[in-house]
Amino acid sequence: MASTRQVLNRATPYVFLAPALLVMAVALLYPVAQSIWLSFHQWSIGAPLSSARFIGLENYRILLDDPNVWASIRVTLVFAFAVVVIEVALGVALALVLDRNIRGMSVFRTIFILPMMVAPIVVGLIWRYLYNEQFGPFTTALEALGLPVIPWLSSQGMALISVIIADVWQWTPFIFILSLAALQSLPASALEAARIDGATRWQTVLYIKLPLMMPVIVVAALLRLIDAFKVLEVIYILTEGGPGLATEILSLHIYKTAFSSQQLGRASALSNILLVIVMTITLALFLFNKLREESARRAAAAEGEG
């Protein structure tokens, strides 16, 4: 029979966890619950919340019928995958290049991670200036070289690319520092063993460094992916989603629905859709990774028996 003492012992961790759980519940679950509740209602800012009218799935129906929403989803996916792929490739490559003990390297590394520390609003303002098609530095430089001026933010085709460049500029450092940390914690003697075994610099990267860095790279890429679905400020300042809907990613669309169109119910529904998309992609990648590891393990076990 369990004594009082045992029961108390078993309860202790929950007692200690309780305050944190409570804060989590209030700070995390309440808004989500509120947003779900709101997504089934019609309500605009200013009116008392009690005046919200229940309309069932109407918000979702309207949204999923709206071609603009689908366009926005497409822009979001293109943006998110493009920035993650480019940032991971660049960040890892930079880490590999800068992982050496040369005098002054630490200064160099610090400069490289500066963009990450700049507030998104400021990043947006900086790039809006850089991209300015009358007097921005890019335009001036192109003109000085006698090259045609690029309509950075004003053309349908170019705007999304420009926005991606700005995001890559800000967030490549994130992948870079995590990759660098991963590189510097690699077992030094295994790298020496590879040199003795006859691996060239490039072969060491390919067969030893990258495989050993992979867990860190995967997590960093996932964090970036989740974050890329939520960017708002930089794009808002650069293009406000335009021209047309060329750069109107979902979070921007939600923002406009909520504060320009004043349809909070519909905005909530849309943010729930975004949440589902992000969760689906994250879970899919996570499961894919798990399955791959599992099948590798099973293959090894099968060979071991054979």
Partner 1 sequence: MPHISIRGLQKRFGGVAVINDLDLEMADREFTVLVGPSGCGKSTTLRMIAGLEDTSGGEIWIGGREVSGLDPKDRDIAMVFQDYALYPHMNVARNMSFSLRLAGTPPREIEERVKRVADMLSIGHLLERKPAALSGGQRQRVAMGRALVRDASVFLFDEPLSNLDAKLRNQMRAELAVMRKRVEKNMIYVTHDQIEAMTLADRIVVMHQGRIQQQGSPEDLYKRPANKFVAGFIGSPPMNFLSGELNGSDDRLAIAGDGFHVPVPEAKRAAMENRTTRRIDMGIRPSALKPVGESQSDPAIGSITLTVLVSEYIGAQSVLVCECGGQRVTAEVASDTPFAASAPMRFAVDPAGVHLFDPETEAAL
Cβ proximity to partner 1, 53 vs 195, nearer residue: 195
Minimum Å distance from CB 110 to partner 1?
Answer: 25
Rule CB under 8 A: say whether 192 interacts with partner 1: yes
Distance (Å, whole) CA 272 – CA 226: 14
Minimum Å distance from CB 302 to partner 1?
Answer: 9
Q: Please state the φ and ψ torsions of residue 54, each to the nearest 5 degrees.
A: -75, 130
Cβ-contact 238, 170 below 8 angstroms: no
| Stretch of 16-24, 140-148, 177-185, 190-198 lying at the interface with partner 1 (CB under 8 A) | 190-198
| Stretch of 110-118, 237-245, 269-277, 297-305 lying at the interface with partner 1 (CB under 8 A) | 297-305
Cβ proximity to partner 1, 187 vs 244, nearer residue: 187
User: Residue 55 burial by CB count (10 A; 0-12/13-18/19+): exposed, middle or buried?
Assistant: middle
Cβ proximity to partner 1, 48 vs 198, nearer residue: 198
Q: How many CA atoms lie within 13 A of 268 on its CB side?
A: 21
∠ at Cα 95 (89, 99), nearest 5°?
155
Rule CB under 8 A: say whether 102 interacts with partner 1: no
Question: Could you identify the residue written with the tokens 């850089």?
Answer: 130
DSSP 3-state of 96? helix
Rule CB under 8 A: say whether 101 interacts with partner 1: no
∠ at Cα 289 (164, 305), nearest 5°?
155
Find the binder of partner 1 among 53, 74, 195, 292 (CB under 8 A): 195
Distance (Å, whole) CA 109 – CA 113: 7
Minimum Å distance from CB 93 to partner 1?
Answer: 20
Stretch 207-226 residues interacting with partner 1 (CB under 8 A): 207-208, 211-212
Find the binder of partner 1 among 4, 50, 189, 260 (CB under 8 A): 189
Which residues does 203 contact at the CB level (< 8 Å), separation at least 6? 194
Cβ proximity to partner 1, 158 vs 199, nearer residue: 199
Minimum Å distance from CB 205 to partner 1?
Answer: 13
Cβ proximity to partner 1, 125 vs 210, nearer residue: 210
∠ at Cα 145 (140, 148), nearest 5°?
75
Interface residues with partner 1 (CB under 8 A) are 187, 189-190, 192-200, 203, 207-208, 211-212, 300-301, 303-304
